């Protein structure tokens, strides 16, 4: 007997239908809409019948034809809207689903006189917010009253009231201008240019923007003014000239790298997680380059071997910008090393990883930041080089970046401790700011005084400070005198013995005698801003990623520490410890031998003396032998003898990607700083970076025309965030920045909520 197996009923889906769950389907066309369940028609409505459409959605959930989430997605609404419809029908019946009247409920406030006043104020250069406050209308009304697509400086004066009637009679004129843009139309056809590029007949494709609404990642265009200020594009053009002929030019590749990093995908592999068409619209192309193209172009730049020149040029541009806009940030440069661990299988030199607290294969980089912690320059350190060695090598680079002979304050931590280096830096025109390395003698308590300082954010600091000088030995019986600022701080390690009031002294050394003591302390503590950059860049810009796995042979003739020297030194220490123990034991035995009981005499013969000092003489012999062996061992040997076959990772590719990430970080920081300074965002001191990242990934409209590229962003989730970004847009528009490679001046706006 045959057994029939259970089979789910076949779902009959009409042609062109949208599946809603497992059994329902939705068809919408010019005639209206229809809902099918298991192939049978259950709901239908005519075109324009919004009541019938809403009723079908609510009833489809009620009969359990599909889950609410799937119904909401199929009908193009969110679940909260669907829930409101259901509640409204439950409370007031089907009539509650009738759509209410959209738009203004009363007469327009944009009279002919008000429109003329608004346009006159805009021609005078007033901002939208200032006009709205002065006239007494909303910013949306101000936008509607202004001619669409006109810049404040380029508007023609409207004579008479010929256009006033349109502005007043149609409340949604400005909004209609935005709605008229096609929603995500096909990108401009660039097939001809791509064909020319394949045959080597195209130097680079120029950005061409097409009008489009609801463009994903349109917020990335907010970064263009700050990106231009970093100098990445201009410096790269100066250093590299251009890439070889092809569709994607040098400016396009670098802009794409920065914008992709700001979108959360700093590595080339991240291009697979970004829609190339969406990013291409922001770049003015039909699609953005993909992974293999990005790697090929960056490799071509690295092959030129001029990445160091690019970073040096960007550093000089950074210094020039700070001098023109904020000279206080040039008061100090912070220098620190950063260790990037390597997890591959190549033979890479080991370095100590402070986060892991043990040595591992790694590369070491030396970073230079300005007073606010923004990165200025990075150089690759030699394997095994100390911060003191790198500082000495870095001084010429810093001097070229500064561009003149002014004295520069350089701050660093104890890793750069070297009194000889301090004297050398002072002679070369650099001032030193660092922590004193322990052990150090404490300053007398009566030299300390209370000090209060208020920083640029209004935060108050209180310290107990002593201001003295100290002489440091530099060798050859020479000393170098430095200023020492001592602080009394809580001693956590001493609380068990002395209680919670236990304190200890820490000392700051500097060669700046004219700097107020509170500035010395504050600027030394501000070195942690560089550590904050390392942490932020690891989280958001993949600072420690390996952008290239190509390796080259390390210099076999380079002198490196001899491991045998360290072992010989350890043997000397062990021999000295044995000698000290033997000396103590011999002294005790000799004391006992020459101290007989009272009334008795002691006679120590040569044989007794030899017996008592036998262990000491043996320990002395071992110590002499260990010291002789230590002196004979060479301190440094060629790398080929110590670690043959050692390799180094590709430097040029990593430095180029570092240049892109420096530009991306400085761009994000500039936007966050603009939010704090130029907007009324209440929590800007805490959420500026978060708000900037949110705005950069927002969608919006792109509307080119009349030499202006208008970027009209969609509202953000909260009203306060939308208002802050609107103020930011006014500030960025005032910069009159042109999109790279075009004559289009960027203008930024934010849509108002309906």
Task: State how far the Cα of 283 lies from the Cα of 261, in Å rounded to an integer.
Answer: 14
| Residue 382: per-residue pLDDT | 79
Task: State how far the Cα of 50 lies from the Cα of 97, in Å rounded to an integer.
Answer: 8
C-alpha distances out from residue 320 to 235, 314, 503, Å:
13, 10, 43
Note whether 281 and 702 are within 8 A (CB): yes
Residues 6+ apart with CB under 8 A from 204: 242, 243, 245, 246, 247, 248, 249, 250, 251, 252
Which range in 426-430, 557-561, 643-647 is most confidently predicted, on average pLDDT?
426-430
Residue 1 pLDDT > 50? no
* Model pLDDT for residues 578-594, shown as the tens digit of each residue: 999 999 999 998 888 88
| Residue 12: per-residue pLDDT | 63
Query: pLDDT band for position 164 (50/70/90)?
Result: very low
Q: What percent of the chain has pLDDT over 90?
A: 49
End-to-end CA distance of the chain: 68
What is the mean predicted confidence (pLDDT) over 418-436? 93
Note whether 569 and 663 are within 8 A (CB): no
CA 290, 293, 299, 301 dihedral sign is: negative
Residue 306 pLDDT > 60? yes
* Model pLDDT for residues 167-206, shown as the tens digit of each residue: 333 333 334 344 478 888 888 889 999 999 999 899 999 9
| Residue 102: per-residue pLDDT | 54
Query: pLDDT band for position 113 (50/70/90)?
Result: confident
10 Å CB burial of residue 324 (0-12, 13-18, 19+) is: exposed
| Residue 176: per-residue pLDDT | 37
DSSP 724-741: HHHHHHHHHHTT-PBPTT
Note whether 362 and 397 are within 8 A (CB): no
What distance lies between CA 77 and its chain's CA centroid?
Answer: 36
Query: pLDDT band for position 156 (50/70/90)?
Result: very low
Task: Say what the pTM is.
Answer: 0.72
Query: pLDDT band for position 101 (50/70/90)?
Result: low
Residue 46 pLDDT > 70? yes
| Residue 496: per-residue pLDDT | 60
| Residue 237: per-residue pLDDT | 95
| Residue 309: per-residue pLDDT | 94
Provide the residue ranges of all domains of the chain, joining segments of one domain with +. 18-97, 112-179, 191-304+668-750
Instruction: Identify which of 375, 302, 304 has the alpha carbon closest to the alpha carbon of residue 335.
Output: 375
117 φ, ψ (degrees, to nearest 5)? -65, -45
Query: pLDDT band for position 155 (50/70/90)?
Result: very low
| Residue 500: per-residue pLDDT | 64
Which range in 147-161, 211-225, 451-465 is most confidently predicted, on average pLDDT?
211-225
| Residue 140: per-residue pLDDT | 74
Provide long-range contacts, Cβ within 8 A and 24+ apart, for 112-119: 112/161, 112/164, 112/165, 112/168, 114/145, 115/145, 115/161, 115/163, 115/164, 115/167, 115/168, 116/158, 116/161, 116/164, 118/142, 118/145, 118/146, 119/145, 119/146, 119/147, 119/155, 119/158
* Model pLDDT for residues 494-533, shown as the tens digit of each residue: 666 666 678 889 999 999 999 999 999 999 999 999 999 9
Query: pLDDT band for position 130 (50/70/90)?
Result: confident
Query: pLDDT band for position 106 (50/70/90)?
Result: low
What is the mean predicted confidence (pLDDT) over 603-624? 90
| Residue 136: per-residue pLDDT | 84
Query: pLDDT band for position 746 (50/70/90)?
Result: very high
Residue 148 pLDDT > 80? no
Instruction: Identify which of 464, 470, 439, 467 has the alpha carbon closest to the alpha carbon of residue 452.
Output: 464
| Residue 163: per-residue pLDDT | 39
What is the mean predicted confidence (pLDDT) over 101-109? 59
**Per-residue b/e over 478-490, b at no fewer than 16 CB within 10 Å?**
eebebbbbbbbee
* Model pLDDT for residues 265-294, shown as the tens digit of each residue: 999 999 999 999 999 999 999 999 999 999
Task: State how far the Cα of 401 lies from the Cα of 347, in Å rounded to an integer.
Answer: 35
Q: Are strands 358-369 and 375-380 parallel, antiparallel or unpaired?
A: antiparallel
Residues 6+ apart with CB under 8 A from 303: 652
Average pLDDT, the chain: 86
| Residue 311: per-residue pLDDT | 95
Helices 79-92 and 50-62, axial angle in degrees (round to 10): 90
| Residue 673: per-residue pLDDT | 94
Consecutive H or E run containing 474: strand 460-475
Note whether 247 and 202 are within 8 A (CB): yes
637 φ, ψ (degrees, to nearest 5)? -130, 160
Consecutive H or E run containing 151: none
* Model pLDDT for residues 369-412, shown as the tens digit of each residue: 999 899 999 998 877 778 888 999 999 999 988 888 888 999 99
**Per-residue b/e over 559-571, b at no fewer than 16 CB within 10 Å?**
ebebeeeeebeeb
C-alpha distances out from residue 511 to 109, 392, 412, Å:
66, 17, 13
β-bridge partners, 697: none
| Residue 499: per-residue pLDDT | 63
243 φ, ψ (degrees, to nearest 5)? -80, 170
Consecutive H or E run containing 448: none
| Residue 432: per-residue pLDDT | 95
Residue 20 pLDDT > 90? no
């Amino acid at each position: 007997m045959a057994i029939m197996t259970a089979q789910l009923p076949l779902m009959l889906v009409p042609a062109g239908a949208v599946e809603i769950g497992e059994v329902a389907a939705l068809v919408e066309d010019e005639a209206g809409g229809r809902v099918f369940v298991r192939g049978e028609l259950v709901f239908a409505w005519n075109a324009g019948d919004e009541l019938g459409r809403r009723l079908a959605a609510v009833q489809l959930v009620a009969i359990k034809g599909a889950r609410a989430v799937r119904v909401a997605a199929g009908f193009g609404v969110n679940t909260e809207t669907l829930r409101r419809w259901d509640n409204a029908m439950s409370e007031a019946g089907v009539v509650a689903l009738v759509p209410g009247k959209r738009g203004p409920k009363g007469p327009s406030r944009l009279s002919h006189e008000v429109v003329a006043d608004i346009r006159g104020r805009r021609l005078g250069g007033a901002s939208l917010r200032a006009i709205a406050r002065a006239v007494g209308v909303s910013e949306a009304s101000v936008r509607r009253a202004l001619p669409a697509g006109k810049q404040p400086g380029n508007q023609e004066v409207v004579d008479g009231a010929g256009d006033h009637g349109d502005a007043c009679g149609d409340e949604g004129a400005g909004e209609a201008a935005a709605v008229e843009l096609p929603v995500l139309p096909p990108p401009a056809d660039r097939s001809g240019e791509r064909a020319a590029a394949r045959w080597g007949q195209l130097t680079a494709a120029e950005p061409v923007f097409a009008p489009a609404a609801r463009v994903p990642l349109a917020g990335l265009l907010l970064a263009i003014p700050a990106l231009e200020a970093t100098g990445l594009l201009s410096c790269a053009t100066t250093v590299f000239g251009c890439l070889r002929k092809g569709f994607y030019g040098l400016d396009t590749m670098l802009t794409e790298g920065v914008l992709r990093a700001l979108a959360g995908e700093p590595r080339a592999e991240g291009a697979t997680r970004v829609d190339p068409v969406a990013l291409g619209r922001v770049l003015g192309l039909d699609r953005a380059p993909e992974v293999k193209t990005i790697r090929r172009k960056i490799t071509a730049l690295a092959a030129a071997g001029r990445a160091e020149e690019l970073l040096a040029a960007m550093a000089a541009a950074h210094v020039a910008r700070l001098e023109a806009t904020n000279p206080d940030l040039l008061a100090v440069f912070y220098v620190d090393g950063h260790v990037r661990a390597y997890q591959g299988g190549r033979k890479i030199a080991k370095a100590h990883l402070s986060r892991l607290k043990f040595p591992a294969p790694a590369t070491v980089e030396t970073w230079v930041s300005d007073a606010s912690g923004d990165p200025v320059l990075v150089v690759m350190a030699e394997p095994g080089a100390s911060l003191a060695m790198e500082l000495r090598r870095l001084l010429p680079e810093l001097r070229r970046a500064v561009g003149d002979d002014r004295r520069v304050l350089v701050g660093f931590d104890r890793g750069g401790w070297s009194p000889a280096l301090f004297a050398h830096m002072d002679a070369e025109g650099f001032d030193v700011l660092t922590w004193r390395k322990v052990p150090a003698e404490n300053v007398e308590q009566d030299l300390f005084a209370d000090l209060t300082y208020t920083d640029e954010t209004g935060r108050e600091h209180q310290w107990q400070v002593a201001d003295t000088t100290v002489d440091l030995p530099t060798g050859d019986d020479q000393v170098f005198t430095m200023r020492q600022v001592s602080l009394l701080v809580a001693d956590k390690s001493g609380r068990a013995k002395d209680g919670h009031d236990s304190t200890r002294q820490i000392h700051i050394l500097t060669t700046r005698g004219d700097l107020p003591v509170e500035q010395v302390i504050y600027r030394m503590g501000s070195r942690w801003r560089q550590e904050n950059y390392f942490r932020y860049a690891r989280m958001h810009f993949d600072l420690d990623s390996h952008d290239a796995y190509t390796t080259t042979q390390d210099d076999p003739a380079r002198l490196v520490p001899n491991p045998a020297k360290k072992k010989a030194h350890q043997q000397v220490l062990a021999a000295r410890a044995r000698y000290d123990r033997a000396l103590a034991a011999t002294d005790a035995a000799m004391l006992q031998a020459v101290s007989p009981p009272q009334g008795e005499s002691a006679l120590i013969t040569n044989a007794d003396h030899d017996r008592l000092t036998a262990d000491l003489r043996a320990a002395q012999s071992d110590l002499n032998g260990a010291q002789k062996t230590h002196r004979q061992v060479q301190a440094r040997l060629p790398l080929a003898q110590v670690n043959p076959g050692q390799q180094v990772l590709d430097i040029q590719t990593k430095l180029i990607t570092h240049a892109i990430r420096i530009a991306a970080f400085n761009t994000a920081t500039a936007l966050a700083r603009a939010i704090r300074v130029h907007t009324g965002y209440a929590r800007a001191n805490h959420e500026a970076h978060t708000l900037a990242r949110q705005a950069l990934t927002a969608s919006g409209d792109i509307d080119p025309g009349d030499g202006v590229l208008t970027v009209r962003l969609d509202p953000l989730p909260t009203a306060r965030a939308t208002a802050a970004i609107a103020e930011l847009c006014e500030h960025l528009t005032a910069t009159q920045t042109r999109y790279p490679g075009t004559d289009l001046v960027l203008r930024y706006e934010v849509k108002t909520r309906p």
